[in-house]
Structure 1
Amino acid sequence: MVKTGHKKFVKKEKARVKLKKSYKTILPKGLNVTNTEFKVKRIVIREQLKERGENELLSAHRKLNVKELMSRLKHNNSAVKQDGLSGLFEIVTLNATSLIKSHFSSIVDSVSSLMLDISGNTRKAVVKLLSAMFSQVTEEELSPLFEIIVRYLACAMSHMDSGVREDSLLIIDILLEQCPLLTAKHRSLLPHFLDMISSQTRSHEQARQLTVDLDSRTTTTVFRIKVLTRLRSMLQAIVHSSKTKPGQSNANREVTVSSDTRHVPLYSSQQHAQPFVYDKKVTSNQTLADVQSYTQMLMPLLMDTFIEVVADRKQAGSDIVVEAVALLQCVVDVILNVIHILRQCDTGGVAWFKQTYGRSLRDHLFTGRFPYTVGSWGSLPNKNAKQRRKDCEAALKLLNTSLDLQCTGQNLSLCLLAFQLGIDSPVNLDYVLTSIKCCRSLNPTILACLDAIVSKSDLSQCITVTETLLSLARDPGLTFVVFPYLYNIVIRVDVKKLAKKTRVEDWLDTLPTYLCQKTPIPGSVINSIMTLAARRIPALQNSIDSHIEHILDALPELEIKECERNSEPELSYKRSLARLIYWVQEWDEELSEEICLALRKQHFGPLTPYVEDLWLLRNETFEK
């Protein structure tokens, strides 16, 4: 018979060599326990044993000093860098400015290079830290280190990574907000704005073509609007820096004369101290050739950018989308600032711009399009709904105003551009007049349009505008709204010529009555009336002579808008009105006695000494 498997297994087990089993114990009795003894060697780290000073700046979270935090900025790990930046932010925000200034240069030097970091969270932390630091120092204190920031910023604006380029715009916002005058001096940043939206062609050095970035987090149109918005702010800073020069001021200076005063200096022979320029290459002056060269690169890009967004004129007419509204505002503001800079450089700069780009602007911005309106809520029709909504929100945020379906602000800016370049069209003037009728508050753009109209020395247009304003001035609700516009015309145009065609003398005759009413009056109106009174305009002078008693009688109780009762600003305006005593032509003994009686009764309150001096001075002039 065949053997079964079990029998084979048993036979094999019997044949296998077996080890003998030991009956001895492994450990003696009583020693069957675990030995827990171990040896320890001390490790000493010197930095941990270092004592902190009482006045040493430490972060609130990890208690690290500035040097330790800056060492973390050089680490390869982005989380470690962000931890160091957050610690520096805590030190900057929680400590006094005087304690931070000693570390300011080292922090700026270490942080500036992180503008180019590949991590977006790190770059956002850099923006947050720089904003906190720049708000605590002056521009003069920042000037020695500003060149470092500008160099790294220029690299960020031309970086290959689209995220770095977009975040560089946030750094520009900080510089323009915290130190605009210092930023305006570094005009080397201007070409980098063009590099962000275009590239040079091989055919010509100044010729450029728009570029499209497919890797960007935002659409091309929104990104171009962001860049042009910062370019507009940069140009505005340049214009403002040219207007405000140190040591120069046209403001009136009030001198208090007492018994100890021996002389009043009319001018100073000493040279004012100018801020020290650390980089000799940086200069605030720019020649006409430099501005023209930059304009020749900029203008074609502006036109091409706008044409890409605006729909075909035959299909849409003047209706544009929300992104086009924001882009139109940026384009027009940039052009207006360029014209202002050209005017500052040379008187022939504006004429060159008008001859070179006047026809192009008229064809692309005005003909068949003006005035603009918002035709559809959303973006271009080939985009999906989600992206369309996102682009609209981004465009509205960049506009920094609520959406106006009639595009009033953009159309008024276009009217201002047309008046400055001499693009004559009755549509532009009619739009300005219509806007004046609808506007219930002072609009600076309308005021600038009237300045441009007056500067053209076109009497017919001045008469048309003046008649419209005079008709609106009869409305009590628009009296002080229209006043700045009329004042701007009267102060710059010959009143005799206007009086032949308009009733401007009737309006001048009513101005002193504003000073006798119990309703509050703006302080700007008081200053304007005093300026007109100094010009000795007959219509206004006769009205002042007939109302001077009522004006002085109402002076103590006169209410001035946005001024607290008996505050220094209110007393300053009232002292200005009291000077009308000196401008009275029909001065006689009866008027002098009435003022003397009011002075005895202390009718003028705290203004009594000032009015008494004017009264004595006027009597001396009358006796002579």
Structure 2
Amino acid sequence: MTKKRKRQDDFQKVKLKVGKKKPKPDNVTNVSFKTKGIRLPEQLKSSESGPTTHRQLSIKDLLSQLHHYSGGVKQGALAGLRELLAKNPSLLDAHLSSVLSEAAAVFTDKEPGVRAAAVRLLRFLAPRVPAERVAPFFPLLGAHLSCAMTHIAEGIQEDALQALDVLLEHYPALLAARSAVLLKNFLELISQQRLWRRGRGGEERKTAPWALSVSPGRRVTSQQWRLSVLTRLGRFLQAVVEERPAEEGAGSRDVLDVGEREGGCGKITPVELTWEEHSFGKGGVQVYENAGARASVCSAFRLRPDTEPGAGLEEGLTSVETVKGFASTLVPLLLEVWVEASTSEQGSSENAHLLHPEAMSLMYQVLNILQLLRCLAPQRHDQAELDAWFRSTYLSDFRQHFMKNFPYAQVEVAKHKKKGESKRIKQAAAAGDAGVDPLALNLTLCQVMANLTSSADGRQDADWLGPVRAFVRESLTSGVRLGARHLANLLEVVWKLVLTQRNKGVTEELLQAVSAQYQQRNLTLPVRVLLLRFFSRLYLQEHEVSPQVSRSKVLSRWLAALPLQLAQLGFRNPHLSAQLLRTVQAAAARRNRELLHSLQTHACRLYDPEEGSVVLLPQDSQHRLVQLVYFLPSLPPDLLSCLSRCCTAGRVSASLAASLIRIVHMRSSLSGWTLGVQEAALSDVDYFSFLFSTLAGFSAEELSVLQGGSEEDMCGSSPLSPLSLYHTELEHFMHHWDVVEEVCHCLETVGSRSQCFDILQNAICKNLARLQVVPDSTAAALLRSVSRLLGPSLLPSEELLRFLASCCLSLLTLLLSLDHEPPAQDSSQKREAVWGACVGALGGVPRLLRLVLQAVQVSELGEEELPLVAQLLRLLLQHSQLRNHMLANATLLQHLVQDLTRCCRGAAREQWLTDLLYCYSVALSAQHRGAAGPRDAY
């Protein structure tokens, strides 16, 4: 081998067999190493860093992590913010701006988990932060929401609707203020703008600028996506309608609102009158139409000029033209959605009206949005213009598509439970499209079509209005229980049809169907109130609605049945009774003959003092029932007896009882009113019987029961108390005392004072003078009435004076005996009333004072009664109004003092006798110093 070949062998490459590893050289270096990860579950934080999460992260750390590139870090930061703010709500005050801006910024994040966490954080914050605090930051929040709704990624659009749900629930007013931007965003979610193309010859093709879009890459079908978007659009339009001012929003007003006028004039407020100042006067009361109301001027003046049709949504829905522009863009899209949903379900022409739940929900949302579009009229006077535009533009399309297969029904399909079905149902319910029943769909369609009717073109609309009327009539008369929401929609359709279809037969047919629904039993309160408001408003506005309504027999029968319903209802439902009373009062004021006849028939049942509505209902309803007495055609004796017991039983307030007495007084021929008063409803005999029964406070049956009653609640008769007085309770006594004042006031207004006193005198002598047990309230009332009616020229009979003397002496004895009892058993008000009645009678009738003094027989009194007599004489002598009358009976007074002195012959003179003698001597000395005594006057 040559030297050259050996050198080549040194550098020859070693050939290895397959599967053999290359041997390592001897001088190889081992470079392998082992590592261990360092995990930091929490950080070391000092106490000065503020509140932290369980991972020891402060709010600044969490906010900074929202800018991290990792989706997991951002998702953990959003969860940490929820945890931190739940434990420390005070952090929201200082970091609300940062939290909202950072959370809204991740609405467009590419990670679905981050977007879901942002929505959860927003759902956590919304109930805890009021709208006024969010308002300064809402433009930024709305901008991020708009970016998410119009994002190119379909998943971001879907999650944006979840955030929109939260804002619609908690901040509808703030969203409604951004309607110009959000409405266009809704359009871009389901459609896309078409590019204008020129046809042959350079002419532009007239096609819709927007067309429905289809995204094959979505997780849901096109119909499901459109249903989700349209559901949110309906809720958003509802928020726009509801957040408008009540005086401006034309479509937001309630059709069943009785107090609202169609003409848009100022709201009529009741005129406040104090009838106590006018009930007994001879002058009139000037009442103006709009007294106390703030007139609302309907003007066509605008601060900015109207925009062109379809000029865009940038200015919001502030004028009719902008509403028309938005509707002209949206309605064609809705019609396309309707056509797709309806045609996809049709297997044959016979079953074209049968729909699956998903298609039914989609079609319902289309109709709901159309109904809300009509309610977007900025002013009330713009509503007619907007309705006319809808009719002229889309009536033919609506008739072609909506009424083709009306009414619609749901196809019955056997349900097979699949895997994940319950989860899908929950998600659908959360999105607001849990399903629509066929009745709701058909009713909404009836509302949309009824709003397009016109009274001028009634014959042209007959072909498609016939099915609508038939469906409404069938729904009301089928006997099916209707909810309040469905019934409200039905009544709205009936109202619109009655308003536009001025046909007596059609009107009676529809009202008869509503009456059949009203006559059903066991209706819920909201349903009953809706029906009642419908008929009430129909009656109150009968001349404005239709001339056929005023001649409707159905309405007359309904009005005639109201008093009986009110009597049967009683106190079981005060709210419904109040609604009935408002209607009855309005009809009575209009002199409706059927209602007044029915009210007269059931008056005794309504005003029964034990179980009548007048004593069972709340005070407001009691006041209305009392006012109804004025409109009754007649007041028979049995009704007057009930009214008298209502006044004295104490189950109505004293002021209300006084109002009732004044109304009865005004309906009598003795009221003195000559202008504007209807004929007398009761005779003079019945009127005085009513006043005397009210003055007595107890019926004849109750007084007869007291004559043989137990002595537990009464003060027995004695030589010092000729009558046994029945103790009435303090509340009942004061109530009766207020009623007595009103009765006396009515008696004083009677023209002939002498005849009035003779009637009262004969009534007392005939019914009360022979009683041995008299209620203390009745005795005080008699003394009060006689003292107010008796004049100097009137001479009372001896029988009346003796009975009044017995009442006065018994009351004075009762008053003195109460002074020795604990104060808790009596009241100063009752004492003052009794003392005032006695003093007024004794001072006004001098003969009565003489009879009282003559009735005191000292020789027949016991030792415990002597101090009472001395105290009585001392009080009478000390009273300034009675001192001269007492000294005029000096002989009787001297005998009484001598008899008392003779009965007290003990070594130590009693203090009560010393006080009496001192008072007697002072009175005599004052008489001698004065002028000649008034003895000759007696």
User: Is TM (by shorter chain) over 0.5?
Assistant: yes
Query: Residue 147 of structure 1: which of 130, 139, 152 is its match?
Result: 139
Matching residue's letter, 2:475: S
Conservation of the 8 A alpha-carbon contact between 2:428 and 2:434: no
Conservation of the 8 A alpha-carbon contact between 2:320 and 2:378: no
What is the TM-score when the length of structure 1 is the normalising length?
A: 0.76
Question: How far, CA to CA, are the matches of 1:333 and 1:487 in structure 2?
Answer: 28
Q: Which residue of 2 aligns with 1:434?
A: 474
Matching residue's letter, 2:595: L
Mean alpha-carbon deviation: is it higher for 175-184 or for 205-214?
Answer: 205-214
Is 1:200 aligned with 2:193? yes
Matched residue SS, 1:199: strand
Alignment of 1:250-399 (within 5 A): 266=292, 286-311=318-343, 312=346, 314=349, 316-342=351-377, 344=379, 345-367=382-404, 369-375=405-411, 377=413
Question: How far, CA to CA, are the matches of 1:182 and 1:574 in structure 2?
Answer: 41
Describe the superposition over 1:381-436 as per-residue Cα deviations: whole angstroms up to 9, x where unpaired.
xxxx98999988876775656664xx111011111111111254211111111111
Deviation at 1:208, TM superposition (A): 0.9
Compared CA separation, residues 533 and 284, structure 1 to 2 (3 A): farther
Describe the superposition over 1:515-570 as per-residue Cα deviations: whole angstroms up to 9, x where unpaired.
2125734724632541452243412234334434422337978699xxxxx9xxx7
Conservation of the 8 A alpha-carbon contact between 1:78 and 1:122: yes
Conservation of the 8 A alpha-carbon contact between 1:318 and 1:370: yes
Matched residue SS, 1:209: strand
Compared CA separation, residues 572 and 108, structure 1 to 2 (3 A): farther
Deviation at 1:371, TM superposition (A): 0.7
Query: Residue 568 of structure 2: which of 517, 520, 523 is its match?
Result: 517
Matched residue SS, 2:646: helix
Deviation at 1:596, TM superposition (A): 4.5
What percentage of residue pairs aligned between the two structures are identical? 22
Matched residue SS, 1:341: coil
Is 1:530 aligned with 2:582? yes
Describe the superposition over 1:477-532 as per-residue Cα deviations: whole angstroms up to 9, x where unpaired.
56974545444533433498446452432221110112212573472463254145
Question: How far, CA to CA, are the matches of 1:614 and 1:284 in structure 2?
Answer: 55
Deviation at 1:575, TM superposition (A): 4.6
Q: Which residue of 2 aligns with 1:615?
A: 660
Alignment of 1:461-540 (within 5 A): 461-477=506-522, 481=528, 482-494=531-543, 497-498=548-549, 500=551, 502-517=553-568, 520-521=572-573, 523-524=575-576, 526-535=578-587, 536-537=589-590, 538=592, 539-540=594-595
Deviation at 1:582, TM superposition (A): 6.2
Q: Which residue of 1 aligns with 2:47?
A: 51
Q: Which residue of 1 aligns with 2:441?
A: 410
Q: Which residue of 2 aligns with 1:456?
A: 500
Matched residue SS, 2:375: helix
Alignment of 1:205-224 (within 5 A): 207-224=209-226
Conservation of the 8 A alpha-carbon contact between 1:157 and 1:165: yes
Matching residue's letter, 1:502: K
Q: Which residue of 1 aligns with 2:239?
A: 237
Describe the superposition over 1:279-298 as per-residue Cα deviations: whole angstroms up to 9, x where unpaired.
xx998761111111111110
Matching residue's letter, 2:648: R
Deviation at 1:165, TM superposition (A): 0.3
What is the TM-score when the length of structure 2 is the normalising length?
A: 0.52
Question: How far, CA to CA, are the matches of 2:46 and 2:396 in structure 1?
Answer: 74
Matching residue's letter, 1:547: H
Question: How far, CA to CA, are the matches of 1:425 and 1:74 in structure 2?
Answer: 61
Conservation of the 8 A alpha-carbon contact between 2:367 and 2:444: yes
Q: Which residue of 2 aligns with 1:425?
A: 465
Mean alpha-carbon deviation: is it higher for 114-123 or for 492-501?
Answer: 492-501
Deviation at 1:167, TM superposition (A): 1.0
Compared CA separation, residues 559 and 175, structure 1 to 2 (3 A): farther
Compared CA separation, residues 420 and 268, structure 1 to 2 (3 A): closer
Conservation of the 8 A alpha-carbon contact between 2:361 and 2:435: no
Matched residue SS, 1:439: coil
Compared CA separation, residues 65 and 230, structure 1 to 2 (3 A): same
Compared CA separation, residues 307 and 206, structure 1 to 2 (3 A): closer
Describe the superposition over 1:33-73 as per-residue Cα deviations: whole angstroms up to 9, x where unpaired.
xxxxxxxxxxxxxx9454337xx4443x3343322221121
Question: How far, CA to CA, are the matches of 1:167 and 1:372 in structure 2?
Answer: 33
Conservation of the 8 A alpha-carbon contact between 2:85 and 2:91: no
Q: Which residue of 2 aligns with 1:10?
A: none
Question: How far, CA to CA, are the matches of 1:49 and 1:77 in structure 2?
Answer: 24
Q: Which residue of 1 aligns with 2:153?
A: 161
Conservation of the 8 A alpha-carbon contact between 2:450 and 2:497: yes
Question: How far, CA to CA, are the matches of 1:184 and 1:153 in structure 2?
Answer: 14
Mean alpha-carbon deviation: is it higher for 337-346 or for 179-188?
Answer: 337-346
Matching residue's letter, 2:539: V
Matched residue SS, 1:366: coil
Superposed CA RMSD: 4.0
Deviation at 1:234, TM superposition (A): 0.9
Describe the superposition over 1:586-605 as per-residue Cα deviations: whole angstroms up to 9, x where unpaired.
4759656743432322123x
Matched residue SS, 1:232: helix
Query: Residue 108 of structure 2: which of 99, 111, 116 is its match?
Result: 116
Question: How far, CA to CA, are the matches of 1:256 and 1:222 in structure 2?
Answer: 62
Query: Residue 602 of structure 1: which of 650, 657, 661 is its match?
Result: 650
Question: How far, CA to CA, are the matches of 1:331 and 1:525 in structure 2?
Answer: 39
Compared CA separation, residues 620 and 88, structure 1 to 2 (3 A): farther
Matched residue SS, 1:242: coil
Q: Which residue of 2 aligns with 1:13?
A: none
Matched residue SS, 2:384: coil
Query: Residue 544 of structure 1: which of 571, 583, 599 is its match?
Result: 599
Conservation of the 8 A alpha-carbon contact between 2:532 and 2:579: no
Deviation at 1:310, TM superposition (A): 1.7
Question: How far, CA to CA, are the matches of 2:425 and 2:414 in structure 1?
Answer: 6
Q: Which residue of 2 aligns with 1:18?
A: none
Conservation of the 8 A alpha-carbon contact between 1:578 and 1:611: no
Question: How far, CA to CA, are the matches of 1:500 and 1:175 in structure 2?
Answer: 51
Conservation of the 8 A alpha-carbon contact between 1:236 and 1:337: yes
Deviation at 1:200, TM superposition (A): 0.3
Compared CA separation, residues 186 and 523, structure 1 to 2 (3 A): same
- Structure 2 gap ranges (5+): 1-42, 197-205, 254-259, 261-266, 277-290, 296-312, 454-460, 674-938
Conservation of the 8 A alpha-carbon contact between 1:114 and 1:122: yes
Question: How far, CA to CA, are the matches of 2:271 and 2:80 in structure 1?
Answer: 49
Question: How far, CA to CA, are the matches of 1:66 and 1:358 in structure 2?
Answer: 58
Q: Which residue of 2 aligns with 1:176?
A: 168
Is 1:186 aligned with 2:178? yes
Compared CA separation, residues 49 and 172, structure 1 to 2 (3 A): closer
Matching residue's letter, 1:222: Q
Question: How far, CA to CA, are the matches of 1:286 and 1:232 in structure 2?
Answer: 19
Residues paired across the two proteins, number: 539
Conservation of the 8 A alpha-carbon contact between 2:65 and 2:77: yes
Matching residue's letter, 1:208: W
Compared CA separation, residues 614 and 183, structure 1 to 2 (3 A): farther
